[in-house]
Chains A and B, each alone.
Chain A
Amino acid sequence: MADEDDGKEYRWETGYEKTWEAIKEDDDGLLEGAVADIIQRAKRKRQSERHGGARLGMMRHLYIVLDCSEAMSNQDLKPTRLRCSIKLLEDFIDEFFDQNPISQLGLIITRNKRAEKLSELAGNPKKHIKELKGLHLTALTGEPSIQNSLELALKSLKLLPSHASREILVLMGSLTTCDPGDINTTIEILKSEGVRCSVIGLAAELHICKRLATATGGDHGVVLDDKHFKEQLSIHVDPPAAATRLDSALVKMGFPHHALHSTTETPMTMCMCHVESSEEDSKLVTTGYLCPQCLSKHCELPVECRACGLTLVSAPHLARSYHHLFPVENYKEVTYEGSPSICYGCRRVLTQLDKKVYMCGKCQQGFCLDCEIFIHETLHTCPGCATNPDTFQISSEKISIN
């Protein structure tokens, strides 16, 4: 899907095209119908291929490697490559945790032929974003080293249990890399460990990056401008179909209570997350979440218990990921012939300008194009099915995993 968009950012980049031929007058010599058709096709294209029930890596562990070499001070992305990347990454991190709530993310920067870990794998977006913001003033020097960064990421990814999906995303601004050894062996190890590596090039396609990506099953893309950069990043928000060799396991998790219970009795205590940092937000509070295993207190979820290592989540955190597993089935596209008279979702009166309506295979309700897109991209619940006593429950039988 990404390849299809590549290079079509501007009309003049698509080469000679008889654009006027795409528009045809209807019998009355009007253009409305044809234009509506074109708009509809464009909307529809975005979500043409959707795969239901594929096995996804829910507990994602992603390292982002950010190039901080001299090449990042280039101003082809405004204001500079680094600033642009930081800005887009901030949005990316928020979006990432929104879509993958029980996943973890870490940041690595590379410059001066070295790799430094900016933040460890963790599930809290705020911390990463804080670190990222601090990068604004960092000195951009020397050359990057892909191998060193990959090795550094691998060191912590390797320790993860086998059921977790492991990924590395490299944002590469430089056209060179300075590596201590043979990067091919590193790629081999990554491949055998099942680490999926993707690269987004800010300058041009590099052979070694392309190889890294193809060998480990990741994506490789080169950005055209900041808009395209954002698109390239957003590809990595959705969980990738997990590599087949992932083991599945039952993971022990804690669902802590909100410690508000006895308002008179609760003593003021420090939360575990802030007990070590001498920062401004380490205060004594009565509220917080208590780990059900060791009763240590944490101020927000999800978090890994500092004391006993239990993963603490709240039920809605898990639920937020369910829609990947139970996607709404694609609707049938039907040429509009006067029925139904209104869209079942938004109650809009359908007219002849709506060339197509979309029927849900389960509840047989018709939807307009806009609702169809909204339901599949955002809502993930078919209003027709959800208001029908026979179909409202998402049955587990129909999910075919593996």
Chain B
Amino acid sequence: MANGVEKSLLVIVLDTNPVQKFVRQDTRILTQCLDSVIVFANAHLMQKSNNQLAVMACHSHSSTFLYPDEKPMEVRQIDGQYEGFMMVERTVRQNLQKLIHEIVTNKPLNTESLIGGALAMALCYIVRLEREKAAGEKIHSRILVVTGSNDSASQYMNYMNVFFTAQKLGVVIDVCSLDQELGLLQQGCDITGGNYLKIPQLAGLLQYLLWVFLPDPKVRSKLVLPPPVKVDYRAACFCHRELVDIGYVCSVCLSIFCKFSPICTTCHTVFKMPGPMPTKIKKKKKNPDIVH
């Protein structure tokens, strides 16, 4: 196809929640992470002239796009850095600063970063670009989540909706965890065919990013990358949030329970007791009447 202009869009979702464990230990680390992510973002733009980029910040109370801005900033080179890269760096830093100023006056901080919502926004953005592209153009989109927070089951539904939508749209979700193993996001990587990496040490963040997440999904098969990890697909029961091997599922709302209870706590349906159903025998008797 001579006419196909192929673009590669990378959306980076950066968890900027200041309550993340590793940030609390040393606040400078967040700046280091930000530096690494910006360099990584520019490295993506550096690959091809038609690569596209979006950077989002994700907080416990909001998510917002850091780049691109609605109004592109006017920049002039001050050193040898490429103008485009400088603009990314400036825009991201400026918008992040704005965001951080907003936090202080806000409500008490929450440990939970709303990554699910940020991913939903990212998908809306991707769909919009997909809608606005010119005829014959192709956009390969992917999302990279860089986070040090925990993924809690409270966002389970949002996560799952996002993962399945991404799968449907062919958007790959990559996850780079800075602190702990993330079971839920790991499932997202597995569903959408992305890479998951919990980096062993923060110091080498940039190298890990460049190594594992810079290649486009298309090239990944050609480069040797860490093998996929085993994903735990067991379900957590709704009553105790524990992983179960065998559970009971409500036939109405599909809530999962670890043991039998007469009433579904999610949808308040009253269940019949399990066991052989007497009605069935009655029906079977009725059948011979209609045989001709």
Residues of A in contact with B (beta carbons under 8 Å apart): 55, 58-59, 98, 102, 158-159, 161-164, 180-182, 185-186, 189, 193, 247-258, 260-261, 292-293, 310, 314-316, 318-323, 325-326, 341-349, 370-371, 374-375, 378-389, 392-394, 396, 399, 401-402
Contact = CB atoms under 8 A, between A and B. Distances in A.
A55 B252 contact: yes
A58 B264 CA distance: 15
A252 B236 contact: no
A401 B268 contact: yes
Contact of A346 (B124, B245, B264): B124
Given A254-B247, A379-B124, A393-B155, 18 more contacts: A58-B252, A58-B253, A247-B272, A248-B251, A248-B269, A252-B248, A252-B249, A255-B244, A258-B231, A315-B187, A316-B163, A318-B256, A320-B160, A346-B124, A379-B162, A382-B120, A383-B124, A388-B62
The residue among A249, A253, A388, A401 with the most chain B CB atoms within 10 A of its own CB is: A249
B124 A248 contact: no
Q: Is the interface of B mostly helix, strand, loop or mixed?
A: mixed
Interface in B244-268: 244-254, 256-257, 260-261, 264-268
B230 A375 contact: no
13 contacts: A55-B252, A248-B250, A248-B269, A252-B247, A255-B246, A260-B230, A318-B235, A318-B256, A370-B127, A378-B168, A392-B117, A401-B252, A401-B267
Contacts of A189: 290
A208 to B, nearest CB: 17
Contacts of A385: 117
Interface string B163-192: 111001100000000000000000100010
Contacts of A399: 253, 266-267
A375 B124 contact: yes
Interface residues of B, number: 76
The residue among A186, A320, A321 with the most chain B CB atoms within 10 A of its own CB is: A320
Nearest to B125: A346
Contacts of A254: 245-247
Contacts of B269: 248, 401-402
B120 A250 contact: no
Contact of A319 (B156, B165, B247, B267): B156
Listed from nearest, the 4 A-B pairs whose CB atoms lie closest are A386-B117, A387-B117, A345-B124, A346-B128
B120 A383 contact: yes
B119 to A, nearest CB: 8
A325 B253 contact: yes
Interface stretch (B108-116, B195-203, B204-212): B108-116
Contact of B157 (A253, A342, A394): A394
Q: Is the interface of A mostly helix, strand, loop or mixed?
A: loop
Interface of B: 58, 60-63, 65, 70, 107, 110, 112, 114, 116-118, 120-121, 123-125, 127-128, 131, 154-158, 160-165, 168-169, 187, 191, 230-236, 244-254, 256-257, 260-261, 264-272, 274, 277, 279-280, 283, 287, 290, 292
Given A316-B160, A316-B163, A347-B70, A389 B110 contact: yes
Contact of A253 (B124, B161, B248, B264): B248
B274 to A, nearest CB: 7
Contacts of A310: 246
A44 B62 CA distance: 29
A313 to B, nearest CB: 8
Contacts of A378: 165, 168-169
Nearest to A248: B269
Nearest to A401: B267
Given A345-B125, A401-B253, A255 B233 contact: yes
A209 B226 CA distance: 58
Contacts of B169: 378
Given A319-B157, A389-B112, A251 B290 contact: no
A194 to B, nearest CB: 11
